[in-house]
Structure 1
Amino acid sequence: MQTIIFAILALALIGTTAAVPTFAVAKAQADEDIFYLLDQNIASGGSDNSKITTECFNYYMPILNKISVSFSVQYEQCVSQASQAAANLTATAAQQRTSFVNETTTICGVFTSCNSKSITLDFLSCYATATSTDTNGIYNLADSASNAAISLRGGLQQINDTEEICKNRAQQSMSTQTSKTYKELQACFTNGLPVVTTGTAAGF
């Protein structure tokens, strides 16, 4: 009977994973040690009372599903927040790109205007003047572009690191809660459902 229960639980977890492919890999990793734990507990024996087994299963399965749904929400929040932060950072970089293009167009326009000079001496003098005038502008543009690239690269890496930390915390939380619930489920197979504290005991 309990081997069947283990199979049902495994299929339930696999079904939940398949239903949300976004975090399928993370959830599968988190479930791996839990499957082993439940398998070991069932192999050690427990109640043969099918009523107790069914009651335990009906009591704890909604708890396991709630943990899984909570993990899904937390995981998706990690992804959503990271995507939004990356979009904002990229939008800022896109504005800088437009500025760089405009500055470059202005600088190039000065040299292009020299090409219309029909007299070679005028053409050369025009280029010489344009070069001396725009040298600082070109260097400043190069520095600004370099700094922007470093800032964008570093910002995207920081967002990625924050996202991974967020995912790992969600995965760890799910793994811890699910492992605890499986232990309680195994105890239920042996001892029956936990005793529910009455309202009077809580001070009502």
Structure 2
Amino acid sequence: MKQTSNSQRLIGFITRNLHNSESRILMCKVCVRPLLEYCAFFLISTRIKDKLRLESVQRRFIFRTLGTDSVLTYNSRCSKLGLDPLWMRRLKLNLIFFFKILNKLSSTSSQAIQYAKASHYDIRNSLSLAKQTYSRSSLYMNYFTCKFSRLWNDLPQTIRMLNSLPLFVRSISAFCSSENALNALAPASVSYSTSEIIGTLNV
């Protein structure tokens, strides 16, 4: 991917010319991350190996900044530098985008994304669910609306019922940064390796 090669060159320039961690992180956020996150919702249908290549760019930057002798996991390294794994940022940004469409806060609001009718019965965790579309095509099921309607419905009801965008952004950011996110959105058998997370959540 062209995004990967351009980002790698920028990472090389930053790490060669800046020796202060704070300056490196700032330049990474300003110059590199926008390239890696360009059109995040289109990346849903991108191949897993291409998503892993994008993640490897940030992984390389973190290794060069912290050193290879650290025993921390990739997620812990990201947290130490005030960064998020790219898969986590895509998950957050796409859920925020989905919230905007669902609540008619985006100019791209679509009739394909809307709330499901509430059940007449008092079923636990049944409020503010998104209406899901189904298809036999595996390719279609990876489209943004299909994928994120399922992920949306797996969110805690307290988050789905929020109607304020700033409050939703704060809540979803806190949720995605916690271990509860993987427990809620991914099968229990999935490990915390980046490849399995990306493969299962397809983010």
TM-score when normalising by structure 2:
0.26
Determine which structure has greater relative contact order: mean sequence separation of CA pairs < 8 Å that are 6+ residues apart, divided by chain length: 1
Larger Rg: 1
Higher helix share: 1
TM-score when normalising by structure 1:
0.26
